[in-house]
């Protein structure tokens, strides 16, 4: 995911359920994540490699 646009999971129910949004940052080495229901509180930035590891882990276990 390399974008300046926030993306929400396809598993979201579309009614503002408990979700997070993510986006690739301009530097391409970081990923921003935020709470969909509390966007006004800002976001966290984590290394892209850590995000990829989380997604791989969730896919394997899910």
User: What's the gap between Cα 9 and its chain centre?
Assistant: 8
Identify whether 2 is part of a domain: no
At 41 the pLDDT is: 93
Identify whether 40 is part of a domain: yes
Identify whether 16 is part of a domain: yes
- Name the token pair of 44: 């966290």
- pLDDT tens digits along 26-36: 566 888 888 88
Identify whether 49 is part of a domain: yes
Residue-number span of the structural domain to which 34 is assigned: 7-61
Identify whether 1 is part of a domain: no
Identify whether 12 is part of a domain: yes
Exposure string over 19-57, b if 16+ CB within 10 A, otherwise e: ebbbbbbeeeebbbebeeeeeeeebeeeebeebeeeeee
- pLDDT tens digits along 19-60: 778 887 656 688 888 888 888 999 898 998 998 898 888 876
Identify whether 42 is part of a domain: yes
Confidence of residue 13 (pLDDT cuts 50, 70, 90): low
User: What's the gap between Cα 24 and its chain centre?
Assistant: 8
Q: Is the alpha carbon torsion for 23, 43, 14, 58 positive or negative?
A: positive
- Name the domain count of the chain: 1
């Amino acid at each position: 995911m390399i974008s300046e646009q926030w993306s929400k999971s396809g598993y979201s129910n579309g009614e503002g359920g408990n979700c997070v949004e993510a986006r690739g940052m301009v530097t391409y080495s970081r990923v921003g994540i935020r709470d969909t229901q509390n966007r006004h509180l800002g976001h966290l930035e984590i290394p892209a490699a850590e995000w990829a590891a989380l997604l791989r882990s969730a896919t394997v276990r899910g």
